[in-house]
Every structure is written in structure tokens, then in C-alpha cells.
Structure 1
């Protein structure tokens, strides 16, 4: 049975977290709402279905949530061409496949964004999931559970992410998690949310592939 890597995408394989924070800031401004960018950054990693209420309250979600999400999509789309893979993303995926890991991408992003990122990191053929595949995004465990259902996950698995939301989703799915600092979260808070190891960059994690915690 194969060991499985469940890989987050935004902030883990591609450098998008700050683009997303700016896009959300502009989306809220379309409705004359100002949410500080630092607060938005702290919420990146949870899906858009959760983010509006998390940063602006349930009343804003109830009254304006769908409109803000549409405005976010419109604000983020022009930035898509600026997105670059994080250093080592392709090498990590390639090394995992060469070492007979099952690899699946579990992203809270939109499907066409995920498809674009898969091309950027040259991971064609790797199974991926997106927010379009589930009713609830991270920190709910749904994305991880759907991801595992799409690969031969009869062996052991570990989640790799960059945010506290990845950690929370992994815990709820009953899986260990290791994290990267590439999303902008601190090592201490990632460990507090359950990360058993925290890496500065993907190549460091790649060097430890065979020693990752699995469950």
C-alpha cells in the first residue's frame, strides 16, 4: 500500500496568499467595507464560504456574502498571471511520485485556479480537489476526505499545508500534518494547531519525505 501526501496548494505550492489578501480587501471595499489586510491574511487558507463571516461577521455574510465572493473572484482574476510556484514545488511532487507516494492536491481554491496551478508546477496527472468538490471548505475536513477517496489511500497519509486552517482540517480528518512557513504563519502557532514539523522551504521538506509522520 502507498503512503499518501495530501498537499495544500495556495501558500504551500504556489505563492498566492498575499494576492488573495489584496483581492479580498478590494472585494470588501466594493461594498464600502474596510477589513484590515493583516486580518484578511490571517484568514487565507479557509475557503471563501467561511472567510466573509470570519473576518466581517455573520450579518455581513448573510447580507453580502455572495456578492463579496463574486467581487473577490473579479479582483483576483487579473492577478492569476502574476502567480509563481514556490521554489521546490515541482521537485517535491516529482520526488514523491518517484518514491511511490500517492500524491493528491487538496485546495480550498476554485477549480480553474487549481488547474492553472497544476500547470504552473508541472504536476499534470496528479489528482486534485477544489472547493467546487465539497459543501464545506477548510477548516472542515471535507476536502481532505474527498482527496483521499480519489487516490489509493489504503496505506498511510499525511497532510502538508501552510496555515492553521490546514492543521485544523487535518486534525478533524484524523491525520498528522506538517507545515511550511511559506504562507506567512509562524512556527509556534502552526505547532499549537497540531503541526508535528514546520519547514522554511519545500526542498527541506523534500529531504525528509521518508521520515514524515503517517497515520
Structure 2
């Protein structure tokens, strides 16, 4: 029986993936690097410690990785005020809690960004716990963050809800099922191929599915 629901934040509860993509593009542009936006978007959801190499190669990571991450932060801080929660995010947390489930908002984002996002839907008043980049040695698609989230609430059986293939892959690495949402711009087939048991439109659609017993079937 599932006792813990681990919710990704960026792209799952708040509509931030394209803001991240633009911020990374601007950071790369400071160094006359111009990876196409689609390639950057494909890497959103994995940790920033891995994204530079994924998008631009190991040599760029070695030479510019730390500088790019600092510059991404500067660029994203200029965009974060435009980020909005998805319809149903708060209701999803409330619905899960009504079913006596432990709820963890599991983000690998910077602490100040995670707190800003949670405040968009007053998530801290409902969630049992949340994580940030400070809580895992290795970012997604490694299992570290999910295991830290499960441990934070002393859960024994969790399910991961995320918008990206990296979320599903991290769940698979952690030995737990996952559900995918279309809110991050990833396709149904690729989310399922990465390990998602089911794919739904967004938080509100997941609310309806939970009420219809979806979690009991995992």
C-alpha cells in the first residue's frame, strides 16, 4: 500500500520549465554558446550539476560549469516572478492529505526558489515535508532525492509524481512506481518508456484519478 506521495515541484506543481529553459539559454549565451532551446528543455528536470554536460558536453562543464550555474541563477531570479502554479496544485495536496497519505514536495532546486514556489499555492501549510538541492548528494535521475524525501516522513512505500523523464527514471532507480504529468512538455510515450505507470494532464486531473482509486492500483 502506498503511504507516501512524492511530488516534484518544477514543471509539476508550478509552470516553470520554460522559464528555466530561457534562463539557461541566456546563461549559455553569455559565453557565446547557443544550444537550441529544445535541447535545453529536454534536460530540464535533471539537476543543474548534470545539465551543462548533458546540453553542451563535458568540456564545457569542466571549463564553465560553475560559472554557468551561477549565471543561470542570476537569469532565473529575473524570471521567477512570472512563474505561476498549475490549476489544482493546492487541491492535489489537500486531496492526498484527506486520504491520510504523507506528502513530500521533492525539489532539487535552490532553497530560496523552492520556498517561493511553495508559497505560490501555500504548499508549506499542507505538505508534510519538502526537499531542496541541499538534501541529496546526487541529483535526478539518481534516486538520492526520492529516498531522502521518503526518509523525511518515515515512509515505507512511495510513489513519485513528476513531469519529466528524469523523475520517472529516478523513481525506477529508487524502486518505486511513478506517475507522469504532461505539464512539463514531455510526451506520453517517453514518460511511459522512462517508467511512468500512467500519464495525466496535470494536477487537477490527478485529483480526479486519486478519487477514483488510482493509487490503490499501483
TM-score interval, normalised by the smaller of the two chains = over 0.9
TM-score using structure 1 length? 0.96
Matches for 1:61-76 after TM superposition, within 5 Å: 61-76=61-76
Runs (5+) with no aligned partner, structure 1: none
Task: Tell me the TM-score normalised to structure 2 length.
Answer: 0.95
Q: Is the 8 A contact 2:12 2:202 kept in 1?
A: no
Alignment of 1:44-59 (within 5 A): 44-59=44-59
1:58-87 superposed Cα distances (whole Å, 9 cap, x missing partner): 000000000000000000001111110011
Kept after mapping to 2: 8 A contact 1:177/1:194: yes
Q: How does 1:14-163 map to 2 (within 5 A)?
A: 14-125=14-125, 126=127, 127-154=129-156, 156-163=157-164
Contact 1:2–1:100 (Cα < 8 Å) also in 2: no
Evaluate the alpha carbon distance shift between residue 174 and residue 214 of structure 1 in structure 2; reply closer, same or farther with a 3 A threshold: farther
Query: 2 CA distance for matches of 1:205 and 1:9?
Result: 15
Q: How many Å separate the matches in 2 of 1:214 and 1:141? A: 23
Deviation at 1:213, TM superposition (A): 5.8
Q: Distance in 1 between matches of 2:66 and 2:13?
A: 28
Instruction: Name the count of aligned residue pairs.
Output: 214
CA distance in 1, matches of 2:168, 2:145: 13
Aligned to 1:212: 215
**1:188 aligns to 2:189 (yes or no):** yes
Q: Find the aligned partners of 2:86 and 2:205 in 1 and give their Cα distance.
A: 13
Q: CA RMSD in A?
A: 1.4
SS at match of 2:197: strand
- Aligned partner of 1:8 in structure 2 is 8
